[in-house]
Structure 1
Amino acid sequence: MKRKTMLMWSLLLVSGVSANAFAADGAVGRWKTIDDKTGQVKSIVEISEASNGSLTGKVVEILKSDKGPNPVCDSCSGDRKNKPIKGMTILWNLKPDGANEWAGGTILDPANGKTYKSKMELQPGGRKLDVSGCVAFICRAQTWVRE
């Protein structure tokens, strides 16, 4: 009985440490993007910290696309026009804006090629990230799930 109790406490301790480790890492890591209209997982975005301390996010995997397995950003302009979405930076210049919050950045929607003012908030436990993009008063939000 004592062995089972020790095992149970060990598992609880490890699971608690894991949840706290996610929160301590902030938004850095790999995230499943969940389409806010369909609820389907669309891609994996890897968020990293840039040399200036801001956050940036790059599409590292396409899981679901209406444009085939290797879609390009045909609606994008400039340097991104007709470039593969996989490997593309779609989130940049997000700066800390409080505990587990980032703001002042930009997010690109590769489906329509438009960019939006962006902010993010890491939910308690570190497993979910609320990401939003806004133009004027019109906003769109998604909850991404840590991979």
Structure 2
Amino acid sequence: MNNALLILMLSFFSFVSHTQTVEGIWQTFSESGELQSDVKLYVKNGKLYGKMLKFYNSKANQNDKKCLKCKGERKNQPLVGLTFMNGLSKSGDEWEGDEVLLDPENGKEYDGKIWLINENKLAMRGYLGWLYETQYWKRKQ
């Protein structure tokens, strides 16, 4: 009986820890709550990255949107497929880094931090000095 209970508990904790990850597809929203985009977060070589997958409620064709104000290799690249989050490092329960979040609207890179609120809600915070803005994303089911 004790062995069965132990196995059940270990299986449960393994499942819970496995699902509590920032990796996956997330939906972003405007300040008014309107669905804006789908983004994919993934870990590569121990760093967190994010790329745009899809835009909603856009008058322009998905492939026509370009990063016009970006610099370097991202300049004039399509926003769909663009890596806008580069190399955040894990620190406890958060992922953070300096100049790791690209705003394609102005081409600037900001310091950032990401953490899970719960399994299906993520907080993404961008910093400009002491000022910051936090967005909340929802895991796409």
Match status 1:143 vs 2:136 = yes
| CA distance in structure 2 between the aligned counterparts of 1:47 and 1:102, rounded to whole angstroms | 11
Among 9, 17, 25, the residue aligned to 1:30: 25
Residue equivalent to 2:41? 47
Q: Tell me if the contact between 1:45 and 1:57 (Cα under 8 Å) persists in the aligned partners.
A: yes
Q: Which amino acid aligns with 2:129?
A: A
**What is the TM-score normalised by the length of structure 1?**
0.76
Aligned length: 124
Runs of 4+ displaced beyond 4 Å: none
Gaps of 5+ in 2: 1-11
| CA distance in structure 1 between the aligned counterparts of 2:105 and 2:139, rounded to whole angstroms | 22
Offset of 1:120 from its aligned partner? 0.5
Partner of 2:25, secondary structure, is strand
Q: Tell me if the contact between 1:62 and 1:69 (Cα under 8 Å) persists in the aligned partners.
A: no
* Bigger fraction of residues in strand: 2
Matches within 5 A, 1:82-121: 82-99=76-93, 101-105=94-98, 106-121=100-115
Q: Tell me if the contact between 1:45 and 1:61 (Cα under 8 Å) persists in the aligned partners.
A: yes
| CA distance in structure 2 between the aligned counterparts of 1:142 and 1:62, rounded to whole angstroms | 16
Gaps of 5+ in 1: 1-15
**What is the TM-score normalised by the length of structure 2?**
0.79
Aligned-pair RMSD on alpha carbons?
1.9
| CA distance in structure 2 between the aligned counterparts of 1:69 and 1:30, rounded to whole angstroms | 21
| CA distance in structure 2 between the aligned counterparts of 1:89 and 1:58, rounded to whole angstroms | 4
